[in-house]
Every structure is written in C-alpha cells, then in structure tokens.
Amino acid sequence: MIKKLLHLIIIVFLTVFTQIGGIIYFLTILIIKSKQENKRLKRLIVFSAIYLFSTFLIVPQLANLFGREKIKETELIKANTIFTKLLNRNYVKPELNKTLQKISIDFEKKHKEIQLVYLDANFPFIDKFPLLPHLSHNDGKKIDLSFVYQENGKITNKKPSISGYGIYENPKNNEIKQFEICKKKGYWQYDFPKYLTFGKINREIEFSEKASRDLINSILRQSEIGKIFIEPHLKTRMNLSNSKIRFHGCKAVRHDDHIHIQLK
C-alpha cells in the first residue's frame, strides 16, 4: 500500500513538472516488475532511456498535432538553462515562434550579438494544462524572457541566476514597492520566486535599464503581442507608457526578475 502511494506521488510530481514524465514512469513500473532483481537500477535506466528518447524525438513531432512546436533556437535565441528543454517547458504556438524570431532580430540591430534568452514557455500538449508555477502558461501563447544585464557598463549575455528567476531588480527608495503592497494584502506567494533561483551566478553583472528597455520596445513593435507584464516600478523607471504593458495583479508573482509576454 505504501509502495503504491509512493509510486502515485512520483507520477503526480513528474506530471506536474514535465507533463510526460508521469506516464513514462507508469510505463516503467509496468515493464520492470517489483519481483525483478536490481529493480531500482533497471527502472532508472529504462525511465531515463524512454524519457530522453520521447523528449527529444517523439514529443516535438506529436506537439504539432496539438498546434505547438519547440522554440526554434538560433544564434540569437537561447534557453537560459538546458532544464527548460529537458523538462519539456519550451513549447509555443507557431505564431509565437515567429514573433520571437522577429523580436530577436530587431533587438540585435541595437545590441550586436546579444541574445534573446527565454525561460519557461508552455508544455507541448493540452490547452489549460498549466505549467506550474505559472498558472497562465497553459495555451502556447505565453513565454517568459530574461531582462538584459551589463558587466562594467558593457551589455552581456550573462544572467544572474541558474533558473533565470528569483534575482529581483528591487525598487529604489522613491519607487513604488508593489511587493510590499501585495504582501500586506496577504498574497504571500508574490515574493516566492526568490527561493527558485537554483543558485546565484555572475554576481558581477547588473541590470541594464537601457538594453532592457530596448528589448521591451522590440517586443512592443510586434503587432502579434497582446500583453507584457513587468513590475510597476520598472515600467516607470524605464519610462515606458505603452498600454500593452500591464500590472499582472497580486495573485501572480513578482516580475522584476523577468518579462512575461503573450500573444493576443
């Protein structure tokens, strides 16, 4: 009984974080029965083999049937971490793929060799299946992008955390402190991504107000984009007034560590 419960917990966990991992784990325990010798090692090998084969060869084909495709990486478009791809969190509608290409080309005109770095997008299958912890990333139309940073005044491709989340560009004294407003209203989760950095790196870099504004302007130039979410103090600081840039509400999380964009 306890064994069954443990299997169930693993299946739920893998489904929540990778979408396909739960089913593959279930297959694995059907293939390698509990009576077998060295069953744990055998299961680990079988699971890893099927998981990797599916993730890199089968899922990209199947996703087309669900109207989604893998983000097309180029010299100018890169994932912040390989885990985004390994966990199947890099799927979008074809229209968003095209829009990302256009944004990256437009942005690079101003900042040579500076990449568009993406974070979580959507899973490959099923509308309304959320990509936790982002509840709205459930239709192939949403993606998070990194801000742009500088090192000794020079724009760099480096980012401040391993996951790409959780290192905030905090409000200055005279700026609106939205995270305090939301916390006071009882939304404890608003500040939560600070625990999701998976490690701070590149401590020498700092937020580039100018390059991040240029990136947001490149995004705004694409008519397919419906909304952009960033933290209110950054919108003011970067002198942005376009009505597509919205406040996401206290039910979401802070957006001074990344930019959220979505199609119309």
Residue number, 134 or 159, with CB nearest to Zn ion: 134
Residue number, 22 or 124, with CB nearest to Zn ion: 124
Residue number, 32 or 259, with CB nearest to Zn ion: 259
- Tokens linked to 134: 């982002």
DSSP 8-state symbol, 129: -
Stretch that binds Zn ion, among 41-49, 129-137, 156-164, 165-173 (CB under 5 A): 129-137
DSSP 8-state symbol, 68: -
DSSP 8-state symbol, 171: P
Total of chain residues touching Zn ion, rule CB under 5 A? 3
Nearest to 87 by CA among 152, 14, 32: 14
First to last CA, the chain: 48
Q: Which amino acid is at 130?
A: P
Give the distance, in angstroms, between the CA of residue 71 and the centroid of all CA atoms in the same chain.
12
Which helix (DSSP H) or strand (DSSP E) does residue 205 occupy?
none
Residue number, 95 or 151, with CB nearest to Zn ion: 95
- Shortest gap between Cβ of 214 and Zn ion (angstroms)? 20
Based on the shown chain and the rule CB under 5 A, indicate whether residue 144 belongs to the binding site for Zn ion. yes
Based on the shown chain and the rule CB under 5 A, indicate whether residue 254 belongs to the binding site for Zn ion. no
Stretch that binds Zn ion, among 19-27, 97-105, 137-145, 152-160 (CB under 5 A): 137-145
- Say how far apart CA 103 and CA 109 lie, in whole Å: 10
Binding positions for Zn ion, 71-100, rule CB under 5 A:
none
Binding positions for Zn ion, 155-194, rule CB under 5 A:
none
Strand intervals (E) in 101-208 = 116-118, 142-145, 149-151, 154-156, 206-207
| Residue whose beta carbon is closest to Zn ion | 260
Stretch that binds Zn ion, among 52-60, 132-140, 147-155, 189-197 (CB under 5 A): 132-140
Stretch that binds Zn ion, among 42-50, 80-88, 133-141, 167-175 (CB under 5 A): 133-141
Based on the shown chain and the rule CB under 5 A, indicate whether residue 260 belongs to the binding site for Zn ion. yes
Based on the shown chain and the rule CB under 5 A, indicate whether residue 256 belongs to the binding site for Zn ion. no
What pairs with residue 245 in β-bridges? 228
Residue number, 135 or 181, with CB nearest to Zn ion: 135
Residue number, 29 or 228, with CB nearest to Zn ion: 228
Q: What is the CA radius of gyration of the chain?
A: 20
- Say how far apart CA 43 and CA 63 lie, in whole Å: 26
- Say how far apart CA 119 and CA 12 lie, in whole Å: 23
Stretch that binds Zn ion, among 65-73, 140-148, 179-187, 231-239 (CB under 5 A): 140-148
- Say how far apart CA 247 and CA 128 lie, in whole Å: 22
- Shortest gap between Cβ of 255 and Zn ion (angstroms)? 8
Residue number, 32 or 119, with CB nearest to Zn ion: 119
Based on the shown chain and the rule CB under 5 A, indicate whether residue 257 belongs to the binding site for Zn ion. no
Binding-site ranges for Zn ion (CB under 5 A): 134, 144, 260
